[in-house]
Chain A
Amino acid sequence: MLLVAFLFLFIPSASSFSMRQVTQLAITLSLSLTSFLLLLLAVFLGGTSLWKDMERRYSHSVLGGTPISRTSYILGKYFGVSMFVMLTALLLGILSSVSIWYTATAYPPDSQLLWLNILFAVFFDALKYVLLVAVAFLLSTVSTSFFLPIFGTITIFLASSATQEVYNYLQTDQGSQVSAGIKSTALFFYYILPNFSAFDLKANAIYSLPLDPGVLLLTFCYGVVYITILLTSASLLFARRELL
């Protein structure tokens, strides 16, 4: 954690390299660092938490020796990891705010800083990674090693971050020349994978662009519903899993 705090210390000086938007660069770097650290947490904590318990037979002991159901067990584990991700996001958000505040004091920005936008950007980032933890849990329930939960989660993260770009590309003149098969496959993944671009509010935070409360509510509901589907599926699969 000290190392992380140390990285945030560098942000004001790194931002001074910007020619026209020092504070905006500080926000960019702070939010990017926050997002990257949350990604690492979500992938490695989400991908190994359940698998490690099964590998060390903790799950077997807990589920065999106590009246806890498998669903309660998996939900408990998930909410524990999610809470940790959320609390880390809160801490990183505070560190980001200090770094941004310091930079904005030293290099006052041309436009007004919207702290609420920064808060929302961190919150929706955290929500995105909580969703990713649910993906990792789902993969953990069907995997016998950590490869699928870790690398599967990373793959889904990258694909889910790119689906909106692919969809936008398909709407262009160039995209219309793509074969029908590829287009159908792309559209299938566009609707089936979580759309992470919706949770990315960095541009709104960095450039003080207005946020639409209706869209925020819609994105929040989308995230909650998607997490519910993933956890329900994970619970169903885990209930049928043979624990040795």
Chain B
Amino acid sequence: MKSVVVLATSIAFYTALLIPFTRHLQEKPFLEKVGYVPQPFIIKAMVGDQKNSVAAGLMFRVLVYFGTLVEKNKINSVSLPDDSAMRATLVTASRLDPYNMDTYYFAQSLIWDGKKVRETTELLEYGMRFRDWDFYLPFFAGFNSAFFLKDYAAAATHYATAARLSGSDLFSRLASRYMHEADQTQVAIDYLAAMIKSSRNEAIKKSFEVRHAALLETRRIELARDRFRVMFGHLPASIDELYKQGLLTGPVTDPYGGKFYLEPDGAVRSTSKFAAKPEKTD
């Protein structure tokens, strides 16, 4: 009889606690940080034969964190919250399962702030030692080398590898373009178009599409600027001059909310620096 009373009382207490307890958990900020991940060597020693699933778990953790940032419109800002931990987690995941494509793909999607490009490229080169059939890794590494690092020789080598593995002449063309240091905006547009086409994750796809739209607008201004230079023998002072000469029609819109302008050397820039403004929090 005593046991029944204790059980009934416990269930009553449990029911009373359940509502505030679950409410607290529901209101708790979701995954504020990626957190610390031990060295790959330690994890390998601890997880036995579960290395592949642990690597997949780490990737999932980073992906959920990134998805939360996208929802809060905090991606593409100047500094990505917990960026270092996120990249360290990706490196750890690659050491646990060097064949896991998600790791490299996601690491590559984080380079748009122009930071840690060298580290990301090294990660891709590490992956190439294992995924020696996959053209995506040299494709990514080639893009990083040319677009960000301005290392055209390395870019050509990576694109040549991508061309050999894929059998596609697109990469051969990209390699030759970079070898001549030409047309970087157009190459970035081509690259993003390929990435959007192959992307399954909505958060990543969205970030690519926004940047793709921004670069298309940039390219439109660049083409008008080049025509102006041919016509007048000098660079236009501003974008307004391009409109006045009828070389540019329709408004140019920066999807990041900035305003396009021309640098003294003719380079097309935006006041947004192609970085989304973080959402205001109270």
- Tell whether A19 pairs with B102 under 8 Å between CB atoms, given A25-B56, A165-B44: yes
B262 at the interface (CB under 8 A from A): no
Q: Which residue of A is nearest B64, CB measured? A: A17
Q: Assess whether B48 is in contact with A196, with CB atoms less than 8 Å apart.
A: yes
Q: Assess whether A19 is in contact with B200, with CB atoms less than 8 Å apart.
A: yes
Q: Which residue of B is nearest A200, CB measured? A: B49
B275 at the interface (CB under 8 A from A): no
Q: Assess whether B52 is in contact with A32, with CB atoms less than 8 Å apart.
A: yes
Q: Which of A160-176 contact B (CB under 8 A)?
A: 161-162, 165-166, 169
List B contacts of A48 (CB < 8 A).
none
- Tell whether A161 pairs with B48 under 8 Å between CB atoms, given A19-B63, A19-B199: yes
Chain B: residues with Cβ within 8 Å of the partner, total of 27
Q: Assess whether B49 is in contact with A35, with CB atoms less than 8 Å apart.
A: yes
A86 at the interface (CB under 8 A from B): no
List A contacts of B99 (CB < 8 A).
203, 206-207, 209
Q: Assess whether A161 is in contact with B49, with CB atoms less than 8 Å apart.
A: yes
List B contacts of A32 (CB < 8 A).
50, 52-53
Q: How far is the CA of A199 from the CA of B48 in the complex (A)?
A: 12
Chain A: residues with Cβ within 8 Å of the partner, total of 34
B5 at the interface (CB under 8 A from A): no
Q: Assess whether A28 is in contact with B101, with CB atoms less than 8 Å apart.
A: no
Q: Assess whether A36 is in contact with B41, with CB atoms less than 8 Å apart.
A: no
- Tell whether A203 pairs with B106 under 8 Å between CB atoms, given A19-B63, A158-B46, A165-B44: no
List B contacts of A25 (CB < 8 A).
56, 102
A157 at the interface (CB under 8 A from B): yes
- Tell whether A20 pairs with B48 under 8 Å between CB atoms, given A29-B53, A29-B56, A169-B41: no
Q: Assess whether A35 is in contact with B201, with CB atoms less than 8 Å apart.
A: no
| Secondary structure call for the B interface | helix
Q: Which of A28, A125, A162 is close to B44, meaning CB atoms less than 8 Å apart? A: A162
Q: Which residue of B is nearest A203, CB measured? A: B99
Contact with B along A26-51 (1 / 0, CB 8 A): 00110110011001000000000000
Q: How far is the CA of A35 from the CA of B199 in the complex (A)?
A: 31
Q: How far is the CA of A36 from the CA of B54 in the complex (A)?
A: 13
CB distance from A165 to the nearest CB of B (A): 5
Q: Which of B48, B49, B63, B101 is close to A21, meaning CB atoms less than 8 Å apart? A: B101
- Tell whether A28 pairs with B45 under 8 Å between CB atoms, given A17-B63, A19-B199, A19-B200: no
Q: Assess whether B48 is in contact with A157, with CB atoms less than 8 Å apart.
A: yes
Q: Which of A188-218 contact B (CB under 8 A)?
A: 196-197, 199-200, 202-203, 206-207, 209
**What are 13 sample pairs from A and B whose C-beta atoms fall under 8 A apart?**
A17-B63, A19-B102, A19-B105, A19-B204, A21-B100, A28-B97, A158-B45, A162-B44, A169-B41, A197-B49, A202-B49, A203-B52, A206-B52
Top-8 shortest CB links A-B: A32-B53, A161-B48, A162-B45, A20-B101, A207-B99, A19-B201, A28-B52, A200-B49
Given contacts A19-B105, A111-B133, A202-B49, 7 further A-B contacts (CB under 8 A): A18-B56, A20-B101, A20-B102, A20-B200, A25-B56, A32-B50, A203-B52
